[in-house]
Structure formats: C-alpha cells, structure tokens
Amino acid sequence: MDMKSMREYMGWLYYQYLLITGIYVLEPWEQSIFNTVLFTMVAMVIYTSYVFVPIHVRLALEFFFELVRGQPESTVALMNQR
C-alpha cells in the first residue's frame, strides 16, 4: 500500500468514526472534549485489563483446578483415624 492510499484510507476511517459517533455535528471544541473523554475511558479500560485480568484468570484457574483435584481431607479427620 502506498502512502497516498494509506492516507486516504485513514481519512475514510476517521470520516466513518465521525459519522458513527455523530460528533460531526459538534463544534471543534466539543469534538476535542468528546475525543479526550473517549480516549481517557479507552485507556483506563486497557490499563485495567492489563493489570487485573491476569490476576482474576489465575485465581479462577486455581479455583477450578482445586475443584477438579478434589478437596484434601481435613486434618481433624486424619487425627481421628489414629
């Protein structure tokens, strides 16, 4: 892809973004506020996913592996067998 067609494609994507979100009817300062808020929210979702999702996946896997392996006998039951 040459640079002209890439620039036209990026312009087309931006135009689609304007149409889909409906911000083409806003004034430039309103568009910048909307884009800032949207970018901030997307950045927070990406950061939160990066930080917390692996922890939750690990905890969920440990929980389900414990269910598959079965519960060990309690120490009280082992002491009563003597």
Q: What is the pLDDT of residues 24-80, one digit of tens each?
A: 999 999 999 999 999 999 999 999 999 999 999 999 998 888 877 766 566 565 566
Q: Token pair 């519960």 is at which residue?
A: 71
pLDDT computed for residue 80 by the predictor: 64
16, 45, 57 from 10: Cα distances, Å: 10, 24, 36
Q: In angstroms, rounded to a whole number, what is the distance separating the alpha carbons of residues 59 and 21?
A: 37
Q: What pLDDT, on a 0 to 100 scale, did the predictor assign at position 78?
A: 56
Q: How sure is the predictor about 19, in pLDDT bands with cuts at 50, 70 and 90?
A: very high
In degrees, rounded to 5, the angle at the alpha carbon of residue 37 between the alpha carbons of residues 6 and 41 is: 85
Residue type for 40, please? T
Task: Specify the pLDDT at position 32.
Answer: 95
